[in-house]
Structure 1
Amino acid sequence: MDTNLTFNDIFKSSFLEKTESFSLTDSLIGLLVAFAVGLFIYVIYKKTFSGVIYSHSFNISLIVVSMATALIIMGISSNVLLSLGMVGALSIVRFRTPIKDPMDLVYIFWSIVAGILCGAGFIPLVIVGSLLIGAVLLFFVNRITVENPYLLIVKYRTAELERSLEEIVSRQSRKHMLKSKSVMPGGEYEVTYEIRVKAHEGEFLNAITEMEGVHSAVMLSYDGNFTA
């Protein structure tokens, strides 16, 4: 049995071995590319946002998600035990922030995928893929217009107004469908139509509110959020 210990044997440490195998240049390149791709996602999200209230903090979080994911992949790529521990730690995390718009989920997934590719070193793939995804989003969101149906909610006093209201809706809309009808206490009525208007939505709504016996008329458009 060899009992001779050298100076290097005494101070030998797995921590120092991991530090020696760590490439600062590769890590910086991966993080910088992750930041650049995250910034590109930030710009695309801002240009394609079509909701009610733009969340600047959510958009900033897309950049951080890309960089943090890249950092995690760099850390676990060379250590099996660390990767298993990271999987176990992430499996108990519960994200309770509600995602109201499905497109927000698309951007979150895009940021995570970009971070994974940057951390794994697939720099050309993440750049080309992000450019193509950004071009697709810009084209389909900003260039292609999808007509959303409106919900028309009218409150009126007498049942005789129902026929007149039906005639106006039929004349002013390209397509309509009665979704619900309610009778309120006191003899008031409320009807809800799903309509697709031809043009001049404001004039169409004004014609209904000017009818004698109509209490209120509200038209809503749904595209992930209700807007009046």
Structure 2
Amino acid sequence: MDTLNFNDVFKSSILEKTSSFSIVDSLIGLLVAFLVGFFIYFVYKRTFTGVIYSHTFNLSLIIMSMATALIIIGISSNVLLSLGMVGALSIVRFRTPIKDPIDIVYLFWAIVSGILCGAGFIILVIVGSILIGAVLMIFGNKIKVENPYLLVIRYNQAAIENSLEHVISENVRKHTIKSKSVMPGNDYEITYEIRVKEKDMSFIDNISDMEGIKSAIMLSYDGNFTA
């Protein structure tokens, strides 16, 4: 009959679990995750075309890649731990708004790279990251997309609309009325989506000089305009 002794009660399984994975492989996975994350950092910085560049967001891509790799390395040899990790992560809520869809692409890229590094698919993550980075660099820097402008005009005479339409039609390539509203004091406000001719915006001065025009404002518009 086996007897339970003092050593059996206080026996720790930490060393047994530590020996179940390779420290060298773990260090290689984390190192590759850092290098791939730094590559993502570089590509994001070179291809950023937004209004305000966020260094903290870009830095978080490196940390996210390494942290994801660390999680995958930890749960790869323990099914129960993997189930517990999934349950723990399911209650996490990220409340930081992501306004630009391309930022979601970079986040997904960093997470996928971390998963592949943690799982040991080093060649796959390197080749895939090079191809993805090349596509983003080519399409982000070489192909320029012309964004329209919003022209917001405030005036106090309804009869001026025909003259205003004529001036805009002669000076822009394309225009569309987005909204029109009546302001307090019988003022009117109309918003056009326009595409200018070869960056020529001098016509806005002519509009401002027209009788009855109270203000004329032109804004760069990328499709996410909020008042």
Q: TM-score w.r.t. structure 1 length?
A: 0.92
Contact 1:52/1:225 (8 A) holds in 2 = no
**Corresponding position: 1:82 with 2:81:** yes
Tell me which amino acid in the other structure corresponds to 1:207: N
Distance between the aligned counterparts of 2:59 and 2:33, measured in 1?
13
2:173 partner SS: strand
CA drift at 1:11: 7.3
Match of 2:96 in 1: 97
Change in 2 beyond 3 A, CA 1:225/1:50: farther
Task: For structure 1, list consecutive stretches of 5 or more residues without a partner in the other structure.
Answer: none
Distance between the aligned counterparts of 1:165 and 1:100, measured in 2?
34
Deviates more, 1:102-111 or 1:189-198: 189-198
Match of 1:71 in 2: 70
CA drift at 1:149: 1.8
Contact 1:77/1:120 (8 A) holds in 2 = yes
Distance between the aligned counterparts of 2:186 and 2:19, measured in 1?
82
CA drift at 1:225: 5.4
Match of 1:108 in 2: 107
Following TM superposition, where does structure 1 have runs of at least 4 consecutive aligned residues deviating by more than 6 angstroms? 5-11
1:65 partner SS: helix
Tell me which amino acid in the other structure corresponds to 1:168: V
CA drift at 1:223: 2.1
CA RMSD for the aligned pairs?
Answer: 2.1
Match of 1:129 in 2: 128
Distance between the aligned counterparts of 1:8 and 1:186, measured in 2?
88
Match of 1:23 in 2: 22
Match of 2:211 in 1: 212
Contact 1:35/1:67 (8 A) holds in 2 = yes
Tell me which amino acid in the other structure corresponds to 2:57: F
Tell me which amino acid in the other structure corresponds to 1:30: G
**Corresponding position: 1:169 with 2:144:** no
Tell me which amino acid in the other structure corresponds to 1:189: Y
Contact 1:42/1:60 (8 A) holds in 2 = yes
Task: For structure 2, list consecutive stretches of 5 or more residues without a partner in the other structure.
Answer: none
Match of 1:182 in 2: 181
Contact 1:34/1:114 (8 A) holds in 2 = yes
CA drift at 1:156: 1.1
Distance between the aligned counterparts of 1:23 and 1:179, measured in 2?
61
CA drift at 1:160: 2.2
Tell me which amino acid in the other structure corresponds to 1:61: S
1:95 partner SS: coil
Change in 2 beyond 3 A, CA 1:196/1:224: closer
2:217 partner SS: strand
Tell me which amino acid in the other structure corresponds to 2:24: T
Deviates more, 1:40-49 or 1:201-210: 201-210
